[in-house]
Structure 1
Amino acid sequence: MSLQWTDSLDIALALQEAHPDVNPTQVNFVDLRNWIMALPDFEDDPARCGERILEAVQLAWMEEYDG
């Protein structure tokens, strides 16, 4: 399954798995964007990413975070 910028919940779950000890509220958008693009299943155009997308991913990750 390939991940796109609009797959915020799936991206959040993948980030939670890749970075289990990270509190998503402490991640800045530059790191978040880089981590998303480094996910093995991520296959979208980096130019399509914006602040709204990163906010949606961060919010979804916060909902999944159990720290």
Structure 2
Amino acid sequence: MSLDALYWDATYEIVCSLDDTYPDIVIDDVGIDQLYKMIVALPNFADDPALVNNGILNAILREWYEEKMG
């Protein structure tokens, strides 16, 4: 797992960290609110939680889904 600081614009790096932290999660069951909580709980997340919006969270969720299914 990468220990580099994570920021909202680092979509792929966030996805990799989520996948390492939650390897058995069913992504279809993850909602936007849960995803937000999972990201800000990552030990290397360093951005301001207030800067996020649904577009960013949806992009992260879409990328994570594609990584899992790809």
TM-score scaled to structure 1, two decimals?
0.91
Displaced runs of 4+ in structure 1, greater than 2 A?
none
Match of 1:54 among 50, 57, 60: 57
| Identity of matched residues, % | 35
Pairing 1:41–2:58 present: no
Distance 1:59 1:8 in 2: 10
5+ residue gaps, structure 1 = none
5+ residue gaps, structure 2 = none
Pairing 1:30–2:33 present: yes
TM-score scaled to structure 2, two decimals?
0.88
Match of 2:23 among 1, 20, 41: 20
